[in-house]
Structure 1
Amino acid sequence: MSAKVYRTTDPGPDGIVPLFIGGEPYPIDEARVFDVHSPQDNKRFARAHGASKADAIKAADVAWETFATWKHVVGNRRRDIFWRASDILNERAEEMKALLMLETNCGIEAANRQVNFVFQMLRELAGYATKIAGTTPEAQTPGIFTLTLKQPIGPALVIAPWNAALLLAARAIAGPLVAGCTVVFKASELCPRVHHALVKIYHDAGIPAGALNKIQCGRQDAAVVTETLIAHHAIKKVEFIGSNPVGAIIGSLCGKYLKPIFMELGGKSPALVLEDANLQQAAELIVRGAFFHHGQICFSTERVIVVEAVAEEFTALLKAAGEKITYAGTAAQLRFAEHAEEVIADAVAKGAIPLIGGPGFVSIASARPTILTKITKEMRISDEETFGPSLSLYVVKDADEAVKLANDSKYGLSASIHTKDMLRFVKLAAEIEVGQVSMNSMTLFEELTAPLGGAKGSGWGRANAFHGIEEFLVEKMLYIGPPEVGAH
């Protein structure tokens, strides 16, 4: 294991965020350096070395070579590495929060949540490293004994986004590494310093040189670099976290090269409000779930569906709760705020009525928190993820219609149901086509030990705890018996 330690806040030579291949910063090619700009004033605040096709091949080659040894590292050693990683993150917490706020434009609350969650997540995952085990199915052929082995699938390509830059990348990298796979991590070009700091934490915790390799590239090179990695013989599985449109492209490439993929994509998460709900509590939670972090969470509440029996009372409470939030933070890039505002403007132009807010900006890269009513199918907002601080309000006859409308989406990430009746919640939750449903909570609720993932156009596969590790294990069946039994 490498003993060299890098400061988290030191991006690399001359302030340029380097590639990280084979356990050390890769020599920088000045011709491939790109700028990272602030959404506030469009000024450059970082520079990063963009990977070429050759760099991508080198990272995959190194991951393949290292897999031959990393896959045999015993579970308690992997456990100890991830426990140390959590300690190092805790020591560097303030540095990491500062980087998150600088580079992804998030507020202190969002930065705190990410750092605290990842600290706990790493400790939770560490414990599973020693619990990977096969089974002993009962053979139906006399004289035959059967058993299964759980083995790492091989080097994984991990592509993580910018919106929860630390949390999503840390979890995506940890799953395959705990399973015994090596990783090529394609970091986001929008937050290269955060992702580089994360990789250095893993490295300083004792991840062997070559087990975790990190590249980033400018947007103009992303398609070529990504396909090069997916096509590479070493890459045995892909994990992608990002938007639905990009997920469709990545998924098609994996189909082209016959590579399995684990995807967590976008959402259009609905909150259902039934007649027996605590309406005041529901209104406050739904508004918070829609506007937190400028709506830049795939699990954000984008739709609220209320039954008509309490629609008038709930609408007034929702409006009051929404009016308390005049600023929802700032988007990570101006273009993301502009997209959210464009979708709202389209809806208003086609007849949607703002309950609060409407088209426009609070400040640079900060869209107005908005709740719209009278949504129709021809509006983009009806089933396009805004990824901004917006909420669409629908009124339906009853719970059955609420479920039907909730399912009328290409997405299927998360939902919430507000009701005091637990049995009713369970029955309705079973009918909603999403990966997780919460009762009397926000749609962005998450538990460290619970499976997390989507349905339909929101992806497939499950993250968190052993569920995320299993995504990178393959099961091999062994048959044991005398030769004469096998001959038959």
Structure 2
Amino acid sequence: MSCAMLLQCRHSCKKGNRLLRMLATSYSSFVKDKAYINGSWVAAANGNTFSVINPANEELIGTVPDMGIQETQSAIDAAHVAFDTWRKTTAKERSAILKKWFSLIESNKTSLAELLTKEQGKSMADSIAEVTYGASFFEWFSEEAKRVYGEIMPPSTADRRLLIMKQPIGVAGIITPWNFPIAMITRKLGAALAVGCTAVIKPAEDTPLSALAICQLGEEAGLPAGVVNVITTSSKNTSDVGKLLCESPRVATISFTGSTKVGKILLSQSASTVKRVSLELGGNAPFIVFDSANIDKAVTGAMACKFRCAGQTCICANRFLVQDVIYDEFVKRLAEAIKNQLVVGNGLDEGVNIGPLINEAAVNKVDDFVTDAVKKGATKIVGGNKNSLGKNFYEPTLLVNVTTDMECMKDEIFGPVAVIIKFKTEAEAIKIANSTDVGLAGYFYSQDLGQVWRVAEELQVGMVGANESLLSAAEVSFGGVKQSGLGREGGKFGVDEYLEMKYICMGGI
């Protein structure tokens, strides 16, 4: 999503959160207590369920089926059968369904955003932005459906014709995270459906309701039975369900967004069937501020990049690297912005822009990072403690005097904690930035044109924000290098993960 789009969403939400909630009286119509298999809303075979809890106040939002191997196999079988028909539909037919689905999401944006805030905890501004972003993938891929082109090559002999055609790969197993429960489904699913694949979706156990809500709208858009299936499962059954998706010969590809640790497990399990795998894994994004930077813009970018979704995004700034000449000034301005601009609370409350973390374990992990840093010499400038609002809240935090041996520099923080390290030269900044085994996103601010080109080329990441901190959009490719994943999502290359190339040699011409 563009910076302008996100800021517009946040501005409109800030002006009228209360009005938005009044309009969103129908969010409860999206709260399902069944999963979706082969065009039907179904319970678990054994009747088991698990609860979906609002992380802001620990209130029960709803219950969903706790499904396992049996239901997952049924979903795979349904998708396998549906593929034989869906792959033969025209690109125009698939495009029409995706366009209608996009329109339905747009017209239900406020209701979906309220459900998302209740389920995940992010502010209404962030939820509105995610729903808008998520819908954009269905709009984008509705057009890309018509642009899957083959090629004809000149032959070496006159009696042959050589051509390449692209065909849908088959059933896609889609495993999505809790931090963007709508957008991570639409980014994968839109591409898969556009080219003729079917899907089995396993949403995160913390946020299954948003996935079911999107599925409900897909049904209204005219999606045939079996083309999309959603399996809801608790953490107890997650590993078994994931293993079956990876090892089933009827599943042609796995698309996963989540931690590097889990991604490696899924990659290993998929090897048994030599399955296509696309992975969007963890990051440890550097955010470099050079002495030539516009400090005001750098601070604005830092706030948007670090604290969106309470710092729980895979591409948020994790390590701030600031050149020594402007270090003190940048720290001063960032501290002021954190104190004056961030309001912690229930994401549904007016003015709140920092919600809870997803659960208490996430809070404890963030607090351990801060404790380790302070023990090793870091200084708390702002925050640095668990918040009294509830067990899932953590104070927006700024740490300085940070060094490379601290855990917060080595691992992804995934919380509202900004850590700043000082550097002297461009070469030093690049060395620190590239010192990790992951490489998803990286950011830097500089007004030196030569430096902009050099640093953009030298950063070992899949995506670079140069004087820009909000870089996601449906029309561009999203993905990382090193242990941050395989493949790309979104943009014109997003469909490639769901296509096979077939070479045809015609003789006797």
- In structure 2, the residue matched to 1:335 is 361
Residue 359 of structure 1 aligns with an amino acid whose one-letter code is N
Cα distance in 1 for partners of 2:381, 2:505 equals: 66
Counterpart for residue 296 of structure 1: 312
Equivalent residue in structure 1 for 2:155, among 96, 115, 139:
139
Structure 1 contact 403–428 (Cα < 8 Å) conserved: yes
TM-score by length of 2: 0.89
Is the 8 Å Cα contact of residues 416 and 439 (structure 1) preserved in structure 2?
Answer: yes
TM-aligned CA deviation for residue 305 of structure 1: 0.9
What residue in structure 1 maps to residue 394 of structure 2? 367
Measured against aligned partners, the alpha-carbon deviations of 1:347-375 in whole angstroms (never above 9, x if no partner) come to: 21222222322233252212111122233
Runs of 5+ in structure 2 lacking a partner? 1-25, 345-353
Q: Which amino acid aligns with 1:446?
A: S
The farther-off stretch of 27-36 and 276-285 is 27-36
Cα distance in 2 between the residues matched to 1:68 and 1:397 = 60
Q: CA RMSD in A?
A: 1.8
CA apart distance, 1:45? 2.4
2:207 is matched with which residue: 182, 186, 191? 191
Deviation at 1:317, TM superposition (A): 2.2
Equivalent residue number for residue 473 of structure 1? 499
One-letter code of the match for 1:356?
V
2:438 maps to a residue whose letter is: Y
Displacement after TM superposition at 1:326 (Å): 5.5
**Contact in 1 for aligned 2:113/2:127 (Cα 8 Å):** yes
Question: What residue in structure 2 maps to residue 314 of structure 1?
Answer: 330
Which residue matches 2:23? none
User: Residues 306-356 of structure 1, C-alpha deviation per residue, up to 9 Å, x if partnerless?
Assistant: 222322322222222233236332112232222212221222122222232
Aligned: 1:446 with 2:472: yes
Cα deviation for residue 28 of structure 1 reads 4.3
Q: Is the 8 A contact 2:135 2:183 kept in 1?
A: no
Say if 2:27 and 2:115, in contact at 8 Å, map to a contact too: no
The answer on whether the counterparts of 2:191 and 2:495 sit within 8 Å (CA) in structure 1 is: yes
Cα deviation code 1:256-284 (max 9, x no counterpart)? 43212101112111111112110122022
* 1:183 positional shift: 0.2
Give me the whole-angstrom Cα distance separating, in 1, the residues matched to 2:187 and 2:156: 40
1:168 alignment counterpart: 184
- Preserved contact between residue 32 and residue 213 of structure 2 (Cα < 8 Å): no
1:210 equivalent among 226, 229, 246: 226
How much does 1:294 deviate?
Answer: 0.6
Indicate which of 281, 287, 295 corresponds to 1:279: 295
**Quick one: which of 253, 257, 267 aligns to 2:273?**
257
Decide which of 46, 50, 58 is 2:62's aligned counterpart: 46
Q: Distance in 1 between matches of 2:467 and 2:196?
A: 38
Which AA in structure 1 matches 2:411? E
Q: Is contact 1:80–1:126 with CA below 8 Å preserved after alignment? A: yes
- CA distance 1:231–1:429, change in 2 (3 Å): same
Q: CA deviation at 1:30?
A: 5.7
Matched, 1:201 2:227: no
Greater shift, 238-247 or 333-342, is seen at 333-342
Q: Which residue of 2 aligns with 1:408?
A: 435
* CA 1:24–1:212: 2 relative to 1, 3 Å: same
Structure 1 residue 456 displacement after superposition: 1.2
Deviates more, 1:178-187 or 1:361-370: 361-370
SS in 1 for 2:155: coil
Equivalents in 1 of 2:287, 2:496: separation in Å? 30
Contact 1:135 1:147 in 2 (8 A): yes
Q: 1:151 to 1:8 in 2, by over 3 A?
A: farther
CA contact (8 A) 1:73 1:180 kept: yes
Answer whether contact 1:186 1:215 (CA < 8 A) is retained.
yes
Answer with 36-45 or 233-242: which moved more: 36-45
TM-score (norm 1): 0.93
- SS in structure 2 of the partner of residue 25 of structure 1: strand
- Contact 2:135 2:186 (8 Å CA) reproduced: no
Q: Contact (CA 8 Å) 1:161, 1:241: kept in 2 or not?
A: yes
Are 1:23 and 2:39 counterparts? yes
Q: Which amino acid letter does the alignment assign opposite residue 206 of structure 1?
A: G
- Whether 1:482 and 2:498 are equivalent positions in the alignment is no
TM-aligned CA distance change 1:16 to 1:69, over 3 Å: closer
Unaligned regions of 5+ residues in structure 1, if any?
1-6, 484-488
* In structure 2, C-alpha distance between the alignment counterparts of 1:419 and 1:16, rounded to whole Å: 48
Aligned counterparts, 1:95-106, within 5 A: 95-106=111-122
Alignment check: 8 A CA contact 1:30 1:49 kept: no
CA contact (8 A) 1:160 1:172 kept: no
2:339 corresponds in structure 1 to: 323
| Percent identity for Structure 1 against Structure 2 | 26
Aligned residues of 2:474 and 2:491 also touching (Cα < 8 A): yes
User: Which residue in 1 is equivalent to 2:455?
Assistant: 428
Distance across 2 between alignment mates of 1:42 and 1:313: 40
Which residue type is aligned with residue 203 of structure 2? A
Residue 377 of structure 1 and its aligned partner are, at CA, apart by 4.1
Quick one: distance in 2 between partners of 1:452 and 1:437? 11
Query: Is this contact kept in 2: 1:9–1:197, CA < 8 A?
Result: no
